[in-house]
Copies of this chain bind each other. A is one copy, B any other.
């Protein structure tokens, strides 16, 4: 049960606030050009381009050329993979997890600790 190769690309694409912002902007109004997107980010055009390349590599954004301008469209499909692989899977185990906690704690004696600080 090893990880699909594009999973890493996907998560890394979502890991940057500027890229999430770009997705938000596209979500509000899909099909924008590069220059339009630049107006929402406080960085150089090339910076935005690089972020968009990452999103495109993760298949979260699709590109269509219209003449000299580049239109960007959201593709939410990969997000579905995250849902299935992560959210659903872990949500199902929520009750189980808390149950396991109790079991383990009751097995060992000590619970609270003296000298150890960190949580």
Instruction: Tell me the A76-109 residues at the B interface (CB within 8 Å).
Output: 76-77, 79-80, 82-83, 86-87, 89-91, 93-94, 96-97, 100-101, 103-105, 108-109
A contact residues, total (Cβ < 8 Å): 56
| Alpha-carbon distance A63/B79, docked complex (angstroms) | 29
- Residue pairs across A and B with Cβ atoms less than 8 A apart, 15 shown, are A3-B17, A3-B20, A3-B21, A27-B89, A31-B104, A56-B119, A64-B105, A65-B111, A66-B109, A74-B93, A76-B93, A76-B94, A77-B94, A79-B90, A82-B87
Contact B116 A65 (CB under 8 A): yes
The smallest beta-carbon distance between A33 and chain B, in angstroms, is 10
Q: Does A8 contact B (CB under 8 A)?
A: yes
| Alpha-carbon distance A80/B20, docked complex (angstroms) | 17
B residues less than 8 Å from A87 (CB atoms): 79-80, 82-83, 87
